């Protein structure tokens, strides 16, 4: 922070000011917030908001509360989103491994509340990694319709895939495609599109000092430029009558109201629309978008919603399933060995992996798809070995064999560390925490051989 402004800010708000914020940022925020600038600075003294989002694909609120060692308080941003204690360390909890919740700052759930996805719809999350918003969309779709989660950075797309798997989302496609290419190929295909855009991250300042270090007025302008290009692509993917939601975790006028104004000028086929919720406060341009500041109970978000009123016929051919073959039949038989219900949708076999494909897929060719649906099994020599993903996507009641443990059970923790545990069953057996599947193993001779993926195991 420039020393002149540092002195100015410290002199005016001596108790509130602790963090070195960039001078130009302080100046812009003071202009934006006027008399509330003092409240904003005061907020920087307090610890950042932390929260968890209930995953209704895996459990009910009661089960989540019973599985957590800390209380939850409702947030105004989504009925699924709760404040959790600032010191809560959540990643190592069995309930986290089981996908009962996603660790998410509460105001980050506001964008999907604005998107309002409904079961049966086709929804695109264009900038999706690591998956906070995609997993929320997956929960609201409830397994019906299709979620397409795209992430342009390959390593981040892998993390997205892993989070969707942990949360048991069965009807998602994960791709690693440039927005222009993806949205051009799937023009007019989606009922709802979310652009949770890369931004200057001013709403991350309290949590992430790196966001402060990377901030500059030039970075803000570069982000605004990039956001316009991403929105130009996203517009193509929305069908006539469909909804587009734009969100950021920054406060900048240029990246929020400025990007929206540029979008509406370039795209008269879209109109702004009110957000079906009353969180935060109105945007600064008098439009229907909403802003969330720390004084509104969240780290910081901007959410705008548009509706496409112009025509946009879809051109993509539907997915063409190959004829049934031996591998497909074997995969179907394996499913029957593991579960009591029938698989929904088609079984596809690609490159030695059997997948439970979502229904209603488009032609996937050329779209850098990492995964469509749920991994059922992988070929090991001439045999098929069940995959972790299929167990994560099924309720305990569908599993032919299951062990169930309370969340503080030493046996459960041993399983999550990758150890063998006692098991009276014989064959592939799900392992559950408070009735929610968290993995599986293969039982014989009174022991369960561990199949919990190495990269997910608890350490220590």
Q: List interacting residues with ligand SAM (CB under 6 A).
A: 127-133, 151-153, 156, 179, 196, 198, 226, 230
Query: CB of residue 446 vs ligand SAM: minimum separation in angstroms?
Result: 42
Does the annotation mark 249 as catalytic? yes
If the CB atoms of residues 126 and 448 are measured against ligand SAM, the closer one turns out to be: 126
Long-range contacts of 276-279 (CB under 8 A, 24+ apart): 276/113, 276/114, 276/116, 277/77, 277/110, 277/113, 277/114, 278/76, 279/76, 279/77, 279/107, 279/110, 279/113
Nearer to ligand SAM, 226 or 316 (CB): 226
Give the separation between CA 8 and CA 10, rounded to whole angstroms: 6
Q: To the nearest whole angstrom, how small is the minimum distance from the Cβ of residue 198 to ligand SAM?
A: 4
H/E element holding 5?
helix 3-12
Q: What b/e sequence results for 343-382 when a residue is b if at least 16 CB atoms lie within 10 Å of its CB, and e otherwise? A: bebbbbbeeebbbbbbeebbebeebbbbbbbbbbbebeee
Residue of 127, 183, 249, 423 with catalytic role: 249
CA neighbours closer than 13 Å in the CB half-sphere of residue 76: 11
Contact 134, 115 (CB under 8 A): no
Closer residue to ligand SAM (CB): 226 or 353: 226
Q: Given the complex with ligand SAM, which of 80 and 127 has the nearer CB atom?
A: 127
Minimum CB distance to ligand SAM smaller for 201 or for 343? 201
How far apart CA 450 and CA 456 sit, in angstroms, is 12
Q: How far is the CB of 211 from ligand SAM (least distance, A)?
A: 11
CA distance from start to end of the chain: 41
Least Cβ distance, residue 113 to ligand SAM (angstroms):
13
Smallest separation, CB 234 to ligand SAM (Å)? 9
Active-site amino acid positions:
249
């Amino acid at each position: 922070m420039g020393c002149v402004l540092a002195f100015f800010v410290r002199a005016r708000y001596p108790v509130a000011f602790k963090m070195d914020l960039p001078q130009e940022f302080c100046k812009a925020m003071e202009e934006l917030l006027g008399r509330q600038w003092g409240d904003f600075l005061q907020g920087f003294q307090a610890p950042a908001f932390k929260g968890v989002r209930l995953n209704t694909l895996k459990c009910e609120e009661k089960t989540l509360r019973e599985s957590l060692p800390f209380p939850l308080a409702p947030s105004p941003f989504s009925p699924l989103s709760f404040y959790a204690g600032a010191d809560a360390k959540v990643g190592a909890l069995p309930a986290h491994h089981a996908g009962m919740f996603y660790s998410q700052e509460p105001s980050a759930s506001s964008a999907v509340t604005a998107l309002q996805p409904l079961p049966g719809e086709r929804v695109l999350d264009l900038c999706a990694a690591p998956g906070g918003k995609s997993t929320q969309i997956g929960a609201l779709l409830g397994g019906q319709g299709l979620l397409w989660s795209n992430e342009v950075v390959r390593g981040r797309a892998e993390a997205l895939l892993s989070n969707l798997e942990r949360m048991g989302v069965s009807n998602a496609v994960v791709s690693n495609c440039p927005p222009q290419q993806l949205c051009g190929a799937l023009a007019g295909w989606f009922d709802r599109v979310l652009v949770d855009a890369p931004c200057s991250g001013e709403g991350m300042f309290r949590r992430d000092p790196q966001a402060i270090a990377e901030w500059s007025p030039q970075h803000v302008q570069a982000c605004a430029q990039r956001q316009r290009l991403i929105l130009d692509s996203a517009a193509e993917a929305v069908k006539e009558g469909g909804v587009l939601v734009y969100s950021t975790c920054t406060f900048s006028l240029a990246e929020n109201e400025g990007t929206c104004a540029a979008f509406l000028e370039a795209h008269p086929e879209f109109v702004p629309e009110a957000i079906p919720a009353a969180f935060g406060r109105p945007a600064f341009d008098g439009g229907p978008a909403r802003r969330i500041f720390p004084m509104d109970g969240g780290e910081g978000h901007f959410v705008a919603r548009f509706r496409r009123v112009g025509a946009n016929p879809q051109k993509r051919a539907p997915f063409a399933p190959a004829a049934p073959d031996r591998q497909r039949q074997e995969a179907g038989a394996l499913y029957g060995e593991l579960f009591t219900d029938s698989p929904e949708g088609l079984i596809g076999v690609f490159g030695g992996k059997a997948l439970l494909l979502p229904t209603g897929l488009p032609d996937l060719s050329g779209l850098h798809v990492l995964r469509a649906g749920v991994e059922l099994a992988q070929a090991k020599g001439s045999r098929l070995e069940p995959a972790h993903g299929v167990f994560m996507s099924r309720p305990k009641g569908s599993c032919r064999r299951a062990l169930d443990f309370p969340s503080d059970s030493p046996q459960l923790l041993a399983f999550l560390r990758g150890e063998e545990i006692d098991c009276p069953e014989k064959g592939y057996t799900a392992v559950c925490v408070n009735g929610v599947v968290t993995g599986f193993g293969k039982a014989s001779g009174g022991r369960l051989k561990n199949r919990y993926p190495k990269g997910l195991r608890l350490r220590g």
